[in-house]
Amino acid sequence: MVSVTKKFQVTIPKNVREDLKIQSGDKVVFVKNKEGNWVLMTVAELTDRMIESSSDISKTQVESKKGFKQGVADNLQLLGD
């Protein structure tokens, strides 16, 4: 448990800092997840997650295009029969 100061500041407990690998001078952000819970993470971790997500999106786009092209080819073949 931590207390909030008059300036709305908190001290992150040592075990949490160690688990999240937060170092003095790191920038941290609070992000609301899909479940509606707030999560504390470093900006570096957020950046890594965003890069990972964009990679997944790119893969999905490539797979979707392949599937669409195959669907068009299948339909054209059916029309030709």
Per-residue pLDDT at 81:
64
In the beta sheet, which residues pair with residue 32? 38
Place of tokens 């100061």: 5
User: Which value, to the nearest 10 degrees, does the dihedral of the CA atoms of residues 53, 55, 57, 58 take?
Assistant: 170
Q: What is the pLDDT of residues 19-73, one digit of tens each?
A: 999 999 999 999 999 999 999 999 888 888 888 777 767 777 778 878 877 777 7
Predicted TM-score (pTM) of the model is 0.55
12, two tokens: 């992150």
- Locate the domains of the chain by residue range: 14-80
Model confidence at 75: pLDDT above 80: no
Q: What span, in angstroms and rounded, lies between the C-alpha atoms of 70 and 42?
A: 42
Contact in structure between 39 and 33 (CB atoms under 8 Å): yes
